[in-house]
Amino acid sequence: MTRSEHIRELLEEYAQQRARNDEDLQARTEEAFAKAPRIARLREESAELALEAMRSILTQQSVEQRAALAKNLKRQGQGINAEIRELLMKAGLPENQLEMRYRCNKCKDTGYVGEAPSRFCDCFETRLKLRQYEDGSMAGTDEQNFETFDVNRIPKENGQLEQMVSTKTMCEQYADAFPDTGFRNILLTGAGGLGKTFLLNGIFERVTARGYSAVRITAFRMFEAMRQQHVGNDGEFDGFSSLIEAPLLLIDDLGTEPMMRNITVEYLFTLLNERMAAKRHTVVATNLTPIQIKEHYGERVASRLLDKSNCRAILLKGKDLRSL
């Protein structure tokens, strides 16, 4: 996908976010009116006051008269707003209940800042960079998301169904709560064909559908970003930095990437360590067991991947679902 195509899709995403903002404000307004009906009348009075102000100021001849009228109308408006805030407080609602809330206050979710000619907001540029670097080989969230989860495809023997349902629920709750999750990282381990990639894609689809940025990438593509960084040819998308800075990074098939001296282990440690220091969220799927992770990457990487204070590690067991 070209940069222009990414921009078009991202602008559409921002338009959808603004529509969600409008719906959210409408719902919060209706809630306030239901709990404190007088707020609705005060809002009407405020609108009438603004209209009266425009008409009255236009009829005044002198600058002094217009200034005095504007000052009086401003005082009346402040009185109405103070009463509304008091009613909201008594109703147990926040002061900004009736204000629009934005994902980015800088561009107000338009993606643009500045006067004409405007430029893309930093939030838009960051999302664009992440979209450009996302691994296209992992497309398929239309087929792999929490809504398409099919319990009928999972064997009941030896608790495989029960474990998968439990893990799916945990991953879904994580995605719904992001970024305010109880633990920042998830490590999905187990043999191939047990649904690790499905769960990873489910988290990615749900988090991005909620308007947050995320990068999902295969371990091989991750290694390529590391190698390019090492040789000083990271490309226009600044790939390795994008992996460090992504609010949510999802790595699939860790352990299948090439093991190259001075690159794989060293850069993986840097990636995990930097993300941990910045308190960013990371989800990893691997066929390696915790013991094999330590043997494969060493103690330093293993300690970052298996940190119990920040990570929920799940070992999936059972039959290969792809062979059923």
End-to-end Cα, the chain, rounded Å:
34
pLDDT band, very low/low/confident/very high, at 234 (cuts 50, 70, 90): low
Question: In CATH terms, is domain 134-323 a member of 3.40.50.300?
Answer: yes
Sequence letter at residue 163: Q
CB 139 within 8 A of CB 131: no
Sequence letter at residue 36: A
CB 283 within 8 A of CB 213: no
Instruction: Indicate the domain borders of the chain.
Output: 3-90, 134-323
Mind listing the pLDDT tens digit for each residue in 156-177? Answer: 888 899 999 999 999 999 999 9
**Which letter does DSSP use for residue 94 in this model?**
-
Mind listing the pLDDT tens digit for each residue in 132-145? Answer: 666 554 556 667 88
Mind listing the pLDDT tens digit for each residue in 30-78? Answer: 999 999 999 999 888 888 877 777 777 667 667 777 777 777 777 888 8
Give the predicted TM-score (pTM) of the model.
0.64
Q: What gap in Å lies between CA 193 and CA 319, rounded to an integer?
A: 8
More confident residue, 126 or 105: 105
Q: What gap in Å lies between CA 210 and CA 107, rounded to an integer?
A: 18
Q: What gap in Å lies between CA 36 and CA 87, rounded to an integer?
A: 7
| 189 DSSP β-pair partners | 286, 315
